[in-house]
Structure 1
Amino acid sequence: MHVRTLVRSATATLAMTLALAGGQAVAAPSPAGDRALAPRVLTYDASASAEFKSAVDRGAAIWNESVDGVELRPVATGRRADIRILADNGWPRALPTTLGNGIVYIGRQAVVQGYDTVRISAHELGHILGLPDRKPGPCSSLMSGSSAGTACKNPYPNAAERAEVERDFGGVSVRTAEGPRDVVTAD
């Protein structure tokens, strides 16, 4: 979201500068420009994520800090979420249905083995955002998942992972789904 914030700040600063200089600041209509800056908003429901709710919220916040094309928000009460997040006793996994939609399981088995809950959450959300596993891989790659080992606590996507999500979502307000996926990603 850093680019959107920067553009909005620069626009506001320019308008204020013109006003102070005695000029007239008039906002030119730019509906296409506004849409280009608007992220696709995806909602998530972490109400069934049990003890992992704060890790899920942090994982979503990390994606929001890292990319501009998509924004993850908690679903409003009574609404249907794009992403459902559940806790279970198995291994963490994501079941994407379409780009930006699906179910994430925060499995306790990996947590018991010592894997970081925020990294797990961000990694599994990465699958919903269209990223595949990249195993084996270094800790600097979020999508390396469990192959980075239990000592790896990095929950941030690297530059290539961020760029791939940006390409997939394109920073536009509306995008059609890529179609169903029938591949289960288990980490």
Structure 2
Amino acid sequence: MPHYIRLGLASTAAAVMLTALPAAHAVATPDSPTTKSAAAVVTLRYDDSRASGWEAAVAAGVASWNNNVENVKLVKAAPGTRAEIQLVATTGWPQATLGPVRPGGRGIVQLGSQAVTQGHDKTRIAAHEIGHNLGLPDTKPGPCSQLMSGSSAGTSCKNAVPDAAEQARVERNYANGAASRVPADGRILVDAR
């Protein structure tokens, strides 16, 4: 419930009514360091309609990125609309286009079941391949704590969360509401060891 405060102005007989909003309804100011303008966030749409059997892993991989970076957000494309990131289930090894993918651009993620057959985690695979589309190369060999170490971390690794350095690089790639000024690499990275 709003609270009303009556302030008397010493120089006039006028009174001003101000509404004090609860903290949950506070209005963000442009100067606020913790507030990110919706216009400054790059939105990339993804389509997983051809990734049958991978839907839960894709959703978890997308959530991992959305929960760990602010400058880019991944949203599921509405049916019939163009998506910048296409996710497809395949029988080979996972692979993806090296970005950063831009709005209106095109990134491909092939979610290869061969890696799953060999014991690798589906959610880690999905998050890792999406990381390529966001502009991250492989960091092989690497520890499980590095998402982009991919299969080199071994089949026991289930980590699907980018580390601080990976997060920072994606934030730079999409800083100031635009994809990196550096052109997308465009190579297809195959994640077989």
TM-score normalized by the length of structure 2: 0.77
The answer to whether residue 172 in structure 2 is matched with residue 164 in structure 1 is no
Identify the structure with the greater helix proportion.
1
Count the aligned residue pairs: 169
Partner residue, 1:140: 145
The answer to whether residue 107 in structure 2 is matched with residue 102 in structure 1 is yes
Secondary structure of 2:59's aligned partner: helix
In the TM superposition, residue 168 of structure 1 has moved relative to its aligned partner by 1.1
Partner residue, 1:90: 92
Deviations 1:72-124 (A, max 9, x none): 01001211001000001000000246534400000010000000000000000
The answer to whether residue 187 in structure 2 is matched with residue 183 in structure 1 is yes
Secondary structure of 2:160's aligned partner: coil
Partner residue, 2:119: 114
Secondary structure of 2:37's aligned partner: helix
Higher gyration radius (CA): 2
* Aligned residues: CA RMSD: 2.7
Letter in 2 for 1:24: L
Candidates 57, 61, 67, aligned match of 1:55: 57
8 Å Cα contact 1:59-1:119 kept in structure 2: yes
Separation in 1, partners of 2:97, 2:130? 10
Separation in 2, partners of 1:181, 1:116? 26
8 Å Cα contact 1:143-1:157 kept in structure 2: yes
Separation in 1, partners of 2:45, 2:173? 17
Deviations 1:50-77 (A, max 9, x none): 1011101110011000111111010012
Amino-acid identity (%): 45
Secondary structure of 2:58's aligned partner: helix
Deviations 1:23-71 (A, max 9, x none): 636969859x763774211000000001011101110011000111111
Q: 1:98 to 1:130 in 2, by over 3 A?
A: closer
Q: 1:37 to 1:117 in 2, by over 3 A?
A: same
Identify the structure with the greater strand proportion.
2
Separation in 2, partners of 1:183, 1:28? 40
The answer to whether residue 3 in structure 2 is matched with residue 20 in structure 1 is yes
Q: Which runs of at least 4 in structure 1 moved beyond 2 Å after TM superposition?
A: 23-31, 33-38, 96-101, 172-182
Unaligned runs of 5+ in 2: 6-16, 21-26
TM-score normalized by the length of structure 1: 0.80
Higher RCO (CA 8 Å, separation ≥ 6 residues): 1
